[in-house]
A = this chain, B = another copy of it.
Amino acid sequence: MVNFEGKPAYLQIADELRQQILDGRLASGAKIPSESELMAAHDVSRTVAKMAIGVLRTEGLIYSHPGKGSFVRVGEPLRRRTGNRYRRQAQPPFASDASSAGKRADWEFETVRESASPVVAERLKITPGDQVMRTSYRYFADGKPIQVSTSYEPLSITGGTDIELPEEGPVVGVIARMDHIGRRATHVDENVTARTARDHEAEQLGIPENVQVFAILRTHFEAETPLETCDIVVPSDRYELVYRIPVEESD
């Protein structure tokens, strides 16, 4: 390959492919040229072709499947919108956002009773070893997994009530359920970080390893008392987080 601009060959090839992906010439799901084809087309070694593909993969634009090839990863509604509309409505907190975006939403869950780990205990302001109800969720949009989360509720709050099991009570949604037992959620804290997906998360989300995700720690409060805390993990290239914060009137 003729190396102009002083830019390494693998970056030039990556730039070219990226452009084709972003402007639609390589459509979503399309197979990108194989390593062999890139070698021939640009007159470079396989290493260089592989490096170019590696750049796009770490950018989350493509994924590679051994024996098949590499394919464009961007979906049409590339970024799904989640949000902060915490209202006193009986609605599943996140799944409804997905469904309102025109996607069929469903989810699976598993609820178990267990002792609080030190980390969870600190977030719920309880003592490590106290009983909590842990519910693990996996959300699907049009049948594809797009979110995993794990919710923890102290049994000192929900134990013995008919909303003890989150998904089997008369109402759904943390706020509505807590209302039902006389606990009024006042605010929700969300703590957003970005990192690469853990192996098990990548597996559950059906994404390649090392893809970037948002890790959101969400806690519902009644004044200073945590009512529930939840770990939410979503692929960051599929999501846009939307927050609306009121300006305090106090001076």
Q: A residues within 8 Å of B by Cβ?
A: 55, 58-59, 79, 84, 86-88, 175, 185-196, 210, 212, 214, 236-237, 239-251
Contact in complex: B86, A241 (CB < 8 Å): no
Chain B residue at minimal CB-CB distance from A58: B58
Chain B residues with CB under 8 Å of A88's CB are 247-251
Minimum distance in angstroms from A169 CB to a CB of chain B: 19
Chain B residue at minimal CB-CB distance from A89: B251
Chain B residues with CB under 8 Å of A79's CB are 193
Q: Which of B59, B187, B237 contacts A245 (CB 8 A)?
A: B187
A242-B189, A243-B189 as given contacts; A194 in contact with B175, CB under 8 Å: no
Contact in complex: B84, A243 (CB < 8 Å): yes
Contact in complex: B243, A243 (CB < 8 Å): yes
Chain B residues with CB under 8 Å of A185's CB are 247
Contact in complex: A212, B212 (CB < 8 Å): yes
A249 to B240, CA, bound (A): 26
A189-B242, A245-B187, A247-B175 as given contacts; A237 in contact with B194, CB under 8 Å: yes
A189 to B83, CA, bound (A): 11
Chain B residues with CB under 8 Å of A58's CB are 58, 196, 210
Chain B residues with CB under 8 Å of A175's CB are 247
Closest 3 CB pairs of A and B: A194-B236, A192-B241, A84-B245
Q: Which of B193, B237, B245, B250 contacts A190 (CB 8 A)?
A: B245
Minimum distance in angstroms from A176 CB to a CB of chain B: 10
Q: Which of B55, B86, B214, B246 contacts A194 (CB 8 A)?
A: B214
Q: Which of B87, B192, B246, B250 contacts A187 (CB 8 A)?
A: B246
Chain B residues with CB under 8 Å of A210's CB are 55, 58-59
Minimum distance in angstroms from A73 CB to a CB of chain B: 13
Chain B residues with CB under 8 Å of A186's CB are 246-247
Contact in complex: A243, B245 (CB < 8 Å): yes
Contact in complex: A192, B251 (CB < 8 Å): no
A243 to B86, CA, bound (A): 13
Chain B residue at minimal CB-CB distance from A186: B247
Contact in complex: B240, A192 (CB < 8 Å): yes
Chain B residues with CB under 8 Å of A190's CB are 242-245
Chain B residues with CB under 8 Å of A244's CB are 187-190, 245
A214 to B216, CA, bound (A): 14
